[in-house]
């Protein structure tokens, strides 16, 4: 046997030890990038969806409002002529009056009742609180179509429940969808029934965030429950109440489904446009009438500006009254 065969081969050289300093630098760099850019990645889906389904339609509508646009695709740039037309359009002003009328009859009683119910549900002596909180939210879960069908039967002229009750006090049957004030009351009752419970739970959540120590200290000082409500609950509830007011304003200015179903699908809202809202008029001009899509877009932007102005007014009003 040869010597070379019996001699063991030398082992391969061991790899050099890793550079700890370079590893630490790389880890710090990745950590810095994670802290700096990962929040943007987390919120990116919202902005992508908002850009595709919110911002782009708004900008597209603004561009359409500056044109004589029809749904076939023909359009001619006319500047602000559509907005000038709004000023002299009696149907637009009629829809504006209807919208504000229904808004006043629904939002103001709705918020007052929601505030009362939230304060009642926040009381410690009330039993079965969970049941009442679930029950008060149930109208918001019911389909709006079902609500409109039920209320349409209640407000029927010949066989409706409300006219039957009015007959006991000598009042003639009311044609609820034939007059402006009666239709406003019928539609606002629908809105109040659906959304009072929703606003109640939001206000209740705000009340439960108020520290209980304030009420205990006020009770020790001899403050009555009514005084505690005015001096503690309302001032501390101001941010939540402003939020509810703004939400109700946005919903009231965009009222569409309830009056449309109350009119049995008649987009003009009654025979003489007694309860056509701004949203219904926008739909009539932009969708039903195919050759006035540009004017419908102008109505949409007018609604947007009105919502901003009314929300700002309500915000200032609530903030001043809560001082």
- The pTM of the full predicted model, rounded to 2 decimals, is 0.81
pLDDT at 321: 65
Q: How many domains is the chain built from?
A: 1
CB 283 within 8 A of CB 297: no
Q: Which residue has the higher pLDDT, 283 or 315?
A: 283
pLDDT average, residue stretch 105-110: 91
Lowest-confidence segment of 43-52, 117-126, 159-168 by average pLDDT: 117-126
Which tokens in the block code for residue 1?
């046997």
Is residue 233 a part of any domain in this protein? yes
Is residue 104 a part of any domain in this protein? yes
Quick: pLDDT tens for 174-221.
888 888 898 999 999 999 998 999 999 999 999 988 888 888 888 888
pLDDT average, residue stretch 140-150: 84
Is residue 34 a part of any domain in this protein? no
Q: Domain with 314 in it: what CATH number?
A: 1.10.3720.10
Residue 105, CA distances (Å) to 24, 64, 100, 117 in order: 66, 34, 9, 18
Is residue 29 a part of any domain in this protein? no
Is residue 207 a part of any domain in this protein? yes
Is residue 51 a part of any domain in this protein? no
pLDDT at 39: 80
Which tokens in the block code for residue 323?
């001082």
Is residue 222 a part of any domain in this protein? yes
The total of other beta-carbon atoms located within 10 Å of residue 157's CB is 12
Q: Which residue has the higher pLDDT, 18 or 224?
A: 224
Confidence of residue 9 (pLDDT cuts 50, 70, 90): low
Q: Which residue has the higher pLDDT, 5 or 24?
A: 24
Residue 102 clears pLDDT 90, i.e. is over it: yes
Confidence of residue 263 (pLDDT cuts 50, 70, 90): confident
- C-alpha triplet 140, 144, 149: angle, nearest 5°: 125
Q: Give the residue from 231, 264, 236, 295 showing the smallest Cα distance to 91.
A: 295
pLDDT at 302: 93
Tell me the torsion sign for CA atoms 137, 138, 143, 146. negative
State the DSSP code for 232: I
pLDDT at 318: 75
Lowest-confidence segment of 33-42, 72-81, 103-112, 285-294 by average pLDDT: 33-42
Work out the mean pLDDT of the chain and round it to a whole number.
Answer: 84
Is residue 20 a part of any domain in this protein? no
Confidence of residue 3 (pLDDT cuts 50, 70, 90): very low
pLDDT above 70 coverage of the chain, percent: 89
Residue 64 clears pLDDT 80, i.e. is over it: yes
Which tokens in the block code for residue 65?
């409002």
* Rounded Cα–Cα distance for residues 131 and 129 (Å): 5
Host domain of residue 193: 86-321
pLDDT at 306: 92
Parallel, antiparallel or unpaired: strands 67-69 and 75-77: antiparallel
Quick: pLDDT tens for 14-34.
555 555 667 777 767 777 777
The total of other beta-carbon atoms located within 10 Å of residue 49's CB is 10
pLDDT at 238: 87
Residue 240, C-beta contacts closer than 8 angstroms, at least 6 positions apart: 202, 203, 205, 206, 209
């Amino acid at each position: 046997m040869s010597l070379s065969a019996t001699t063991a081969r030398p082992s391969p050289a061991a790899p050099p030890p890793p550079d700890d300093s370079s590893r630490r630098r790389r880890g710090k760099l990745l950590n810095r990038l994670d802290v700096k850019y990962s929040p943007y990645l987390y919120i990116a889906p919202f902005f992508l969806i908002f850009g595709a389904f919110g911002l782009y339609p708004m900008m597209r509508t603004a561009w359409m409002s500056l044109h004589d646009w029809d749904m076939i695709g023909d359009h001619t740039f006319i500047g602000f002529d559509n907005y000038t037309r709004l000023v002299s359009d009696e149907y637009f002003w009629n829809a504006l009056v209807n919208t504000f009328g229904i808004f006043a009859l629904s939002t103001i009683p709705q918020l007052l009742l929601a505030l009362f119910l939230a304060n009642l549900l926040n009381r410690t002596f009330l039993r079965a609180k969970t049941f009442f909180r679930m029950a008060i939210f149930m109208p918001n879960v019911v389909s709006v179509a079902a609500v409109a069908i039920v209320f349409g039967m209640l407000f029927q002229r010949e066989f409706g429940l409300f006219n039957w009750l009015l007959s006991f006090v000598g009042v003639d049957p009311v044609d609820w969808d034939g007059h402006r004030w009666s239709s406003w009351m019928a539609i606002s009752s629908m809105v109040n029934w659906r959304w009072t419970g929703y606003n109640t739970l939001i206000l209740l959540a705000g009340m439960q965030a108020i520290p209980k120590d304030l009420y205990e200290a006020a009770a020790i000082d001899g403050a009555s429950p009514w005084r505690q409500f005015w001096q503690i609950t309302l001032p501390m509830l101001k941010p939540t109440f402003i939020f509810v007011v703004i939400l109700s304003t946005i919903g009231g200015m965009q009222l569409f489904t309830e009056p449309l179903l109350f009119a049995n699908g008649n987009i003009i809202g009654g025979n003489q446009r007694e309860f056509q809202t701004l949203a219904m008029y926008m739909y009539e001009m932009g969708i039903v009438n195919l050759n006035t899509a540009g004017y419908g877009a102008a109505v949409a932007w007018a609604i947007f500006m009105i919502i901003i102005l009314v929300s700002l007014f309500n915000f200032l009003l609530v903030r001043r009254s809560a001082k």
